[in-house]
């Protein structure tokens, strides 16, 4: 996007030390990927490449590419106004792997557009590979980067994968925001970046950017995940559980405390108990009629009575076992936290 003083989309230097700094204040990352409870907070300007790899990471979704057909159709994302019309609540989530994931509670996660993706010089400086990179040599139209990366806090790595994710992410917003109603909702939910003085992007500027994105859209240069619009979170969880063979480690946990586990599961057990009570009442009425002499009715009533006694007990027992196994799964991290001594703090007085 071109420079616009009213929207705060000024070009910045490579290290982000300017008045128009597009980088966030900090970012969260895992020091040891694949392990639990090793989350750390870092300054994005210390190593911009590391920041981009975390910010644009699709996480476990990259390993599910072959199975995403089960979670969503191959079609563009639905416009924002229609998302609202369908009763979906737009939830802001600063995670690329949660973008456009729909929960069963009527929520849809959306990652706001970061400011640095709307700066052309950031694409040239940090999201474009060197001419010596294999992906650049493989492209017939490869060209030499105009600005040198030497002296900047950026590593010489292949950025093709991150470029594909960034292209797909911006393409998803070109699909989401197609009318002024969509543009209004996007600004209301803070999905579009703003200037330091809280100035909004102008509608004319967004139309120009969206048309440019659609005009230059090439499915081969887009991550396959973004060729599908919304993905169902429940099915992503199912794919993750089967693929990782870990029933107690879903992609995104639905419950974050044990009270919610019991509340949600006991509600459907209570609903089932009401249905069982209605059937038992109907059977009792049947025994007061000529059906009492029917041996098949007596056998069915006997079997359903046993089910009515054992069913709720077994269901409640399964909920207890599920909660206990989740506690066992979390126990190593809990014990590690208990055994870790906090650092000694020395209080200083001014």
Strand pairing class (231-232; 101-102): parallel
Judge whether residue 197 has pLDDT over 90: no
Bridge partner residues of 29 (DSSP): 40
Residue 232: what pLDDT? 93
- Confidence band (pLDDT; 50, 70, 90) for 138? low
- Confidence band (pLDDT; 50, 70, 90) for 324? confident
Largest CA distance in the chain: 94
- For 108-130, what is each residue's pLDDT tens digit? 999 999 999 998 888 888 888 87
Residue 78 burial (CB < 10 Å; 0-12/13-18/19+)? middle
d(CA 23, CA 164): 20
Residue 66 CB neighbours (<10 A) = 10
Residue 6: what pLDDT? 45
- Confidence band (pLDDT; 50, 70, 90) for 213? very high
Judge whether residue 132 has pLDDT over 50: yes
Segment 68-73 mean pLDDT: 92
Bridge partner residues of 39 (DSSP): 30
Residue 170: what pLDDT? 96
Judge whether residue 7 has pLDDT over 70: no
Residue of higher predicted confidence among 331 and 49: 49
Residue 264 CB neighbours (<10 A) = 12
- Confidence band (pLDDT; 50, 70, 90) for 202? very high
Closest CA to 124 of 87, 84, 166: 166
Judge whether residue 300 has pLDDT over 90: no
Residue 320 C-beta-side C-alpha neighbours within 13 Å: 6
Judge whether residue 19 has pLDDT over 50: no
* Per-domain boundaries in the chain: 27-244, 258-338
Give the length of the chain. Answer: 350
Supply the DSSP symbol for 5. T
d(CA 11, CA 18): 9
d(CA 67, CA 169): 20
Closest CA to 226 of 178, 266, 185, 171: 171
Residue 9: what pLDDT? 44
């Amino acid at each position: 996007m071109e420079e616009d003083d009213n929207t705060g989309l000024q070009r910045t230097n490579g290290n982000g030390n300017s008045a128009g700094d597009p980088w966030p204040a900090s970012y969260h990352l895992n020091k040891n990927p694949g392990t639990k409870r090793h989350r750390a907070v870092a300054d994005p300007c210390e190593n911009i490449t590391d920041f981009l790899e975390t910010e644009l990471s699709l996480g476990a979704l990259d390993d599910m590419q072959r199975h995403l057909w089960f979670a969503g159709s191959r079609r563009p994302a639905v416009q924002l106004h229609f998302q609202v019309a369908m009763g979906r609540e737009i939830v802001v989530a600063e995670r690329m792997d949660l973008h456009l994931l729909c929960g069963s509670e009527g929520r849809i996660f959306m990652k706001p557009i970061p400011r640095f993706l709307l700066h052309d010089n950031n694409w040239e400086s940090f999201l474009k590979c060197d001419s010596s990179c294999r992906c650049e040599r493989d492209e017939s139209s490869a060209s030499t980067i105009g600005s040198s990366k030497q002296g900047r806090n950026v590593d010489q790595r292949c950025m093709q994968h991150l470029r594909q994710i960034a292209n797909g992410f911006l393409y998803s917003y070109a699909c989401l925001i197609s009318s002024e109603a969509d543009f209004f909702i996007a600004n209301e939910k803070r999905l579009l970046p703003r200037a330091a003085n809280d100035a909004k992007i102008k509608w004319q500027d967004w139309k120009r950017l969206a048309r440019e994105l659609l005009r230059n859209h090439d499915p081969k240069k887009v991550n396959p995940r973004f060729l599908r619009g919304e993905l169902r979170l429940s099915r992503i969880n199912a794919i993750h559980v089967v693929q990782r063979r870990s029933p107690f480690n879903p992609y995104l946990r639905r419950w974050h405390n044990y009270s919610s586990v019991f509340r949600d599961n006991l509600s459907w057990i209570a609903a089932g108990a009401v249905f069982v009570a209605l059937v038992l009442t109907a059977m009792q009425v049947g025994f007061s009629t000529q059906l009492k002499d029917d041996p098949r009715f007596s056998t069915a009533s006997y079997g359903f009575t046993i089910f009515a006694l054992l069913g709720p007990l077994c269901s409640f027992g399964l909920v207890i076992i599920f909660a206990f196994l989740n506690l066992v799964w979390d126990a190593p991290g809990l014990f590690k936290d208990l055994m870790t001594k906090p650092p000694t703090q020395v209080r200083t007085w001014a």
